[in-house]
Amino acid sequence: MWRSAPPFGELLSGCRKSALHLEMRDHYDDPDEAPRVEAWKAGKRPDPNNRDSWWRPWLDMVSETVGRGVEIRRARIVSEPVSEYTRYLYDGTFANIAAGEQIRWLPRKKASGIALPGNDFWLFDGRLVRFGYFSGEGAYLGDEVTDDPAVAKLCAEAFESVWSKATPHEEYKV
C-alpha cells in the first residue's frame, strides 16, 4: 500500500535492525542546506574536532539510532568527474561516519548492470520503503512510503548490488 510518509524521525525511531539509503542524484536543492553549501563554496569546512559545527539534528538522530543497535548504511551513485554538490557532500561525510553511518560511493558507470528503482529511497528493516521525489533541478517534491513486499525486495536487492560494487568512503577519492 502506498501512502504519504510520516515524519522521517518517526520512521527512524521505529527502526529495529537496519536503515538503508540509496542516493542517485548529483545535486539536491534543499533550501535548509543552502547556507551550508554557500559556506562550503566560500571555503568553510566542518571542523572534525567541533561536533557543534556538524549537521544537526540529523547526526544526533543517527547516533541515537546506531546506539540502539540499528545499522545505517548509505550508498551514493555519482557521476564522475563529480559535481560540485557531490564534492560538498564528500567533504562532510566524515561527520556522518563519526555519527555511525557506513557510507560507500559507486561511480555511475559501474551501476549500468544494476536494476535500480527510479527514485532515491530509504529501506527500513527490509520491509518499509520511503521514496523521495525531486524535480529535475533537485528541489524536494515530497515522499511516499510503501510496505509492498515486491517493492521492498527490489529496493533491498538494488541496494545490496550497489553496496557490493561501491567503494568505502575511506578509500574513495573525488
Q: What is the pLDDT of residues 30-56, one digit of tens each?
A: 888 888 899 999 998 888 788 777 767
Q: Which residue has the cell 504519504?
A: 4
Compute the distance between CA of residue 5 and CA of residue 14 in angstroms, rounded to an integer: 13
Task: Report residue 58's pLDDT band, with 50, 70 and 90 as the boundaries.
Answer: confident
Question: Taking residues 121-139, what's their average pLDDT?
Answer: 96
Q: What is the pLDDT of residues 96-108, one digit of tens each?
A: 999 999 999 999 9
Which of 11, 28, 32 lies closest to 20, judged by CA?
Answer: 11
Whether 142 contacts 134, CB under 8 Å: no
Q: Are strands 140-146 and 2-4 parallel, antiparallel or unpaired?
A: antiparallel
Of 3-7, 71-75, 78-82, 147-151, least confident by mean pLDDT is: 3-7
Amino acid 111: pLDDT: 98
What is the value of pTM for the model shown?
Answer: 0.94
Backbone angles phi, psi at 42, to 5 degrees: -85, 0
Question: Taking residues 113-139, what's their average pLDDT?
Answer: 96
At residue 81, does pLDDT exceed 90?
A: yes
Number of residues that this document lists for the chain: 174
Q: Which residue has the cell 553496496?
A: 163
Mean of the per-residue pLDDT values for the chain?
A: 94
Whether 70 contacts 157, CB under 8 Å: no
Cis check: omega of the bond before 57, within 30 degrees of 0? yes
SS3 110: helix
Q: Which domains does the chain have, with CATH numbers?
A: 2-44+51-168 (3.30.870.10)
